[in-house]
């Protein structure tokens, strides 16, 4: 858990929309707990949202990023991608950390 602020290069509205969209999708497809974490690594802020699901496949994960979240992340020079492994879905968003915090 971070105990300090991480300032990212972004658009506030776009970040809000991405997180709202992902949280809504995760709640819809969740079959258990949802875990949200934020870490700083290699000058990047990395947001990870994980949940257990048996109803999604790797194909579903790839289709999740053909729409709004991917467009917003690309406009902010960020990345979004998903992993699906043994019934656990992870959505990862990465933003560049502002150099002058």
Is residue 98 within 8 Å of 8, Cβ to Cβ? yes
Alpha helix segments (H runs only) across 1-101: 12-29, 58-63, 68-75
Q: Please list the residues that pair with 34 across neighbouring strands.
A: 51
> Domain of 18?
12-96
Residue 43 confidence (pLDDT): 92
Asked if residue 21 has pLDDT above 60, the reply is: yes
Return the percentage of the chain with pLDDT > 90, whole number. 46
* Full DSSP string of 24-92: HHHHHH-SS-EEEEEEEETTEEEEEEEEE-SS--HHHHHHTTSSHHHHHHHHTT-EEEEEEETTEEEEE
Where residue 42 falls among pLDDT bands split at 50, 70, 90? very high
Assess if residue 63 is contained within a domain. Answer: yes
Higher pLDDT: 44 or 5? It is 44
Q: State how many domains the chain has.
A: 1
Give the CATH number of the domain where residue 37 resides.
3.30.565.10
Higher pLDDT: 89 or 61? It is 89
Helices 12-29, 68-75: axis angle to 10 degrees equals: 150
Assess if residue 3 is contained within a domain. Answer: no
State the residue for tokens 């917003």.
72
Assess if residue 83 is contained within a domain. Answer: yes
Assess if residue 4 is contained within a domain. Answer: no
């Amino acid at each position: 858990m971070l105990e300090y602020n991480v300032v990212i290069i972004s658009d506030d509205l776009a970040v809000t929309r991405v997180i709202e969209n992902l949280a809504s999708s995760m709640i819809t497809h969740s079959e258990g707990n949802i875990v949200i974490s934020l870490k700083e690594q290699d000058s990047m802020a990395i947001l990870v949202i994980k949940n257990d699901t048996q109803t999604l496949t790797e194909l579903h994960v790839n289709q999740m990023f053909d729409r709004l979240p991917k467009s917003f992340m690309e406009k902010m020079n960020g990345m979004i991608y998903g992993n699906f492994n043994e019934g656990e879905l992870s959505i990862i968003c990465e933003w560049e950390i502002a150099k002058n915090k």
